[in-house]
Structure formats: C-alpha cells, structure tokens
Amino acid sequence: MPHPKRKISRTRRDTRRNHHKLEPVPYYLDPENGEATQYHRVNLNTGYYRGRQVMEGKNEE
C-alpha cells in the first residue's frame, strides 16, 4: 500500500475534511395545518404536496 512521501500538515488535512459534515435539513411550516415538514416531500398525514392533494392522507381513512 502506498505511503505519503512527506507528512501532510494539519491545515491541509483539515481543509480536505472540511466537507465531511452534516448540514441541518431545512423545514417549512405547512400553511394548511402549521406542521413542520421537509421540502419536496408529501405530507403523509394530509396527503398534500405544494398546496395540492396528491394522495389520501393517513387522517382521512
């Protein structure tokens, strides 16, 4: 297995690892019921997506 010829500095190592982090998922408040949901996801309780009903929700059964 190949080894580096010289030691990689802390700055160079940490700069490379700078992108290995989790970012918070953005949420928005649903205008229909005020529930926090993710973008680009169907609200499974109501069945609404972007203000339109696209499927039956769990509460409608």
Q: What is the DSSP string of the chain?
A: ----SSPPPHHHHHHHGGG----PPPEEE-TTT--EEETT---TTT-EETTEE-S--GGG-
pLDDT (mean) for 32-41? 83
Give the total number of structural domains in the chain.
1
Identify the domain containing residue 37 by its residue range: 25-61
51 in any annotated domain:
yes
Is residue 45 situated within a structural domain?
A: yes
pLDDT at 51: 81
Give the pLDDT mean for 30-56.
Answer: 84
**Per the domain annotation, does 49 fall within a domain?**
yes
- Average pLDDT, integer, range 47-53: 84
pLDDT above 60 for 27: yes
Q: Answer yes or no: is 12 within a domain.
A: no
- Cα 35 to chain centroid distance, Å, stands at 17
Q: Mean pLDDT throughout 29-57?
A: 84
* 16 within some domain: no
Q: Is the pLDDT of residue 61 over 70?
A: no
13, part of any domain: no
